[in-house]
Amino acid sequence: MANSRLIREALSVPLEKAGFKKKSDTWYWGNDEVVLLLNLQKSQYGEQYYVNCGIGLKSLGAVDFPKENQGHIRFRLTTLADNEESRKSIELLFDMESSPLYNQARQAKITHLIEELVLPIFQSCSSEVGVIKAVGAGLFAKAMVHKLVKDMIT
């Protein structure tokens, strides 16, 4: 479907440039310490899409290509918004039914969002120490953080 292809292309550009590899609807980046992932999920009720992000720690058993729900830290792109208005703006960007954006504008905005919001977080979490610092600093206050990760901070 054209809608999902447009979003996938907009996500692929910055992620592949940053070294992520695509497998199905998920992009992965990993090293000996962590696995970072970004997953595109389509709503079962309409033409809305969700961007799910995850971080897995290899020392806690993360595999190279985990499913999104297997991450030690999991969050949706919308949880990174500074305020309610920004959150709604992100939701509209990925709502192909109600958002009036033209395809090129939508693609550009999605790519920019990944470059400016997601990739800096992923870069800061490219090591176990970076992940622990980010969790300790409250960066993932709205995320699901596994108890084993929280225990590493104390």
pLDDT tens track for 73-127: 999 999 999 899 999 999 999 998 876 677 888 999 999 999 999 999 999 999 9
Instruction: Give yes or no for a contact between 135 and 150, defined as CB atoms under 8 angstroms apart.
Output: yes
Question: Which residue did the predictor score with more confidence, 52 or 46?
Answer: 52
User: pTM of the entire structure?
Assistant: 0.93
Q: Where are the domains of the chain?
A: 2-153
Judge whether 148 and 154 are in contact, CB under 8 Å.
Answer: no
Q: What's the burial of 151, exposed, middle or buried (CB within 10 Å: 0-12/13-18/19+)?
A: exposed
pLDDT digits (tens, 9 = 90+) for 9-20: 999 999 999 999
**Other beta carbons within 10 Å of 152:** 17
User: Sorting pLDDT into bands at 50, 70 and 90, what band is 1?
Assistant: very low
